Structure 1
Amino acid sequence: MNIPNYGRVGRGGKVGVPSESYRYEFDPADRPLILQVLGNKPEPVISLATSPFLEGHIDGVDLNCGCPQQFAMDKRVGAGILRDPELLIDLARQCACSIPYPLSVKMRLHEEGPQTTARIAEKLHTHSGVKAVTVHGRYWWQKGVNRGQCDWKAIETVRKLTPASLFVIGNGDVASYADFERYRVESGVDSVMAGYGALLDPTIFQENSINLDQVISDYFEIAVRHKNSFMHILRHVHWMIKSRPYQDSSAVHARLFSYKTLEQIQTLLRDELDIHVRLPCVPQGESRIIYPKGASDIVDPKKLKLYLAKEAKLERKKKKKKLHSNRLPNCEQPEPLDWLDEWMTPIEKPND
């Protein structure tokens, strides 16, 4: 569960009212459910992880130290925080002792190699109380056209150099159901994660393959039932057809993202890719999926009046809502990290 921009974070790390653009459904079938967060300050992470709306619905918190995008490197979050191990371990320690859930960390390979990656993982476990680490076998610069292959030998090295009590998960280049067991056995990790491969093929987690026509049809049903935004539908369809060979793919992509209805997507898939999907039953009067609904999308006067009254009530609640304190809950403060100089050479920090 990755909830971008859910809390409006103000000065001092205070989390304000939730953004109305993000509303979430919780289903018992999704458990265990892990909340993934991105940041380099403990206060927003702790405030979000201890929010009442998550209580009873999540089973753990994962700190994302793997995002390789340039904004993450510049702001020293995601893979960028690996350049400052002391900051990362201090952050993890404060979060782990302040939230009621086990803390895990997803990280890329440190730019100095798998040995340094293993040392950071070990200290996250022994000093900060992190229960598990996921190691993506790529460096931060391996992205886009420079993505390259995942280094599972490096992941194996991290597993060998870390304590057996630390749960290590391998990640990268999992493209089929058989890859899960193969990579787990070859690298010695405790488990294997799939990300990119699951976007291309959502059925990767089951042994029996399903025809793409059926997969997209089923996804349309789910998307309508849970009121997914139309842009999210376009993005998922785009991922699922990436591995399908067809001519002039750029033109197809451009047409896809210009569409406004499921019928247009259905026609494109049929005519260009020979993918035949069925459309879900959309309630009468809805020509397209819009979420969340705005006043301009409601034509019934009675429904519009109810909608505006509800929005006004929510706005009044926002003004009265007391912001979370930026003080950390009482917990043992981290000890000075004197051990860093003993095992790692200084790392050049990015310019602010």
Structure 2
Amino acid sequence: MIEQEQSRKPTFQIDQVAVYGDLVLAPMDGYSDYPFRNLAAECGNAISFSEFVNAIDVVNQYHKVPRKCVHSSMEYPFFIQIFDNDPQRIYRAAHLLLEYQPDGIDINMGCSVKNVSNRGAGAGLLLEPQKIAHIFRVLSTSLPIPITGKIRLGWDENTFNYLQIARIIEDNGGKMITVHGRTRSQKYLQPAVWEPIAEIKKTVKIPVIGNGDVQQVADIHRMKLQTGCDGVMIGRAAIHNPWILSYRDRSEISIQEVSQLFFRHLEYNVDFYGAEKGLVLFRKYADRYLRPYAAFSSETRQQMLTSNHLNEFQELAHQFFSNLLLNHAES
């Protein structure tokens, strides 16, 4: 995979790390795990970000950390995203995470969840610009890999400090900025605005990734045109349509393709987590894949999404897709 890409011209660079492509799967807690990231890589994901990793968990050697940080050769480049409110703990965690050989470390300054942001981590860091400066300065001068960051526009409508934060990140050695077009207080309740992404792109020289309300391929083109960003990050829309990472809307995807990806994703989950846990964790993806067919055979669909037995689930899924294809052929 890497050897094939080295023969191509990179789309852009994160310091010395080459990036091939301009569509990126967002790091999403509980969703962008190892199986789904590998599926996303097959669909064209240009940068693989881990799920959120708590620096406290890393320094305390919490047993779930390795599962979040392991990655495959398909995931290039691979960045581990960490969050915390303590610069010293972030420093210790980042150095410990070198064990997993990431291509970079990403600092989360965008998470709006209360139990993260209210303790000064995630988007809570936006209220402390000097702390952000310290984190990036220390990490960028002590680690052999690039340090990047994901931000929101500010804590709320009274604290729009995205340009200040962007300059701080660049001035203190940060090599890329991802910008989500909302404040912390807006969470996901209001439409994202993209004009600040364009402002940041004009202000800094490092790559800028735009994020927020990209649902369709047309949105990708609009964001790139309006902001001039180097890449577009896609979160929730990619869960039901990972093909968007290869510039394809869900309406373009055949039933056969959905079925093939559905069973491949299930196989990845079972291989990684084991049959019982792999199935339970897969059901939330299955629900998203099947939502466009919600009006069809709702009883079988409901049985499938509540099944706790792998063989039963697979039989129901094969039955569902076979009947769906037959119904589609007759219509």
Q: Verify same fold: TM over 0.5.
A: yes
Q: How does 1:32-181 map to 2 (within 5 A)?
A: 32-51=77-96, 54-55=99-100, 57-110=101-154, 111-112=156-157, 116-126=161-171, 128-143=172-187, 146=189, 148-160=190-202, 162-163=203-204, 165-181=205-221
Q: SS at 2:273's partner residue? A: coil
* Structure 1 residue ranges (4+ consecutive) displaced by more than 4 angstroms after TM superposition: 3-9, 112-115, 242-245, 252-255, 268-276
Of 271, 275, 279, the residue aligned with 1:230 is 279
Q: Secondary structure of the equivalent of 2:214? A: coil
Structure 1: segments with no counterpart, 5+ residues? 277-352
1: CA distance between counterparts of 2:54 and 2:117?
22
- d(CA) in 2 for partners of 1:155, 1:114: 16
Task: List aligned pairs for 1:300-339, cutoff 5 A.
Answer: none
Q: Does the 8 Å CA contact 2:209/2:233 hold for their aligned counterparts?
A: yes
Shift of 1:6: 7.5
Secondary structure at 2:287 match in 1: helix
> Which stretch of structure 1 is more off in the superposition, 87-96 or 61-70?
87-96
Aligned length: 265
| Matched AA of 1:97 | T
Deviation at 1:263, TM superposition (A): 2.4
In the TM superposition, what whole-angstrom CA distance separates every residue of 1:156-190 from its partner, at most 9, and x where no partner exists?
23323x22x22111011222344333311221112
| 1:30 alignment partner in structure 2 | 75
Query: Within 1, Cα distance between the matches of 2:148 and 2:76?
Result: 16
Deviations 1:176-222 (CA, angstroms, capped at 9, x unpaired) = 34433331122111221111121121111114543322321221222
- Larger Rg, first or second structure (1 or 2): 1
Contact 2:55 2:93 in 1 (8 A): yes
User: Is the CA contact (8 Å cut-off) linking 1:65 and 1:108 kept in structure 2?
Assistant: yes
- Mapped pair 1:221 → 2:267: yes
Of 227, 230, 253, which residue of structure 2 is paired with 1:210? Answer: 253
SS in 2 for 1:28: coil
8 Å Cα contact 1:114-1:158 kept in structure 2: no
Tell me if structure 1 keeps the 8 A contact 2:56–2:84. Answer: no
* Aligned CA-pair RMSD: 3.4
Provide the C-alpha distance between the structure 2 equivalents of 1:189 and 1:271, rounded to a whole number of angstroms.
Answer: 41
Sequence identity (%): 25
TM-score (norm 2): 0.67
CA distance in 1, matches of 2:192, 2:235: 13
Structure 2: unaligned runs, 5 residues or longer: 1-48, 326-331
CA contact (8 A) 1:6 1:22 kept: no
Amino acid at match of 1:102: P
Is the 2:91–2:135 contact (alpha carbons within 8 Å) kept by the matching residues of 1?
Answer: no
CA distance in 2, matches of 1:88, 1:125: 11
Moved more, 209-218 or 197-206: 209-218
Output the CA distance in 2 between the equivalents of 1:98 and 1:254: 53
Structure 1 pair 132–198 and aligned structure 2 pair: CA distance change class (3 A): same
Query: Match of 2:10?
Result: none
Bigger helix fraction:
2
Q: Is the 8 A contact 1:42 1:95 kept in 2?
A: no
- State the TM-score, normalized to the length of structure 1: 0.64
Residue 75 of structure 1: CA displacement? 0.8
Give the secondary-structure state (helix, strand or coil) at the position aligned to 2:253. coil
Question: Could you tell me how far apart the structure 1 residues matched to 2:194 and 2:65 are?
Answer: 39
1:261 deviates by: 3.1
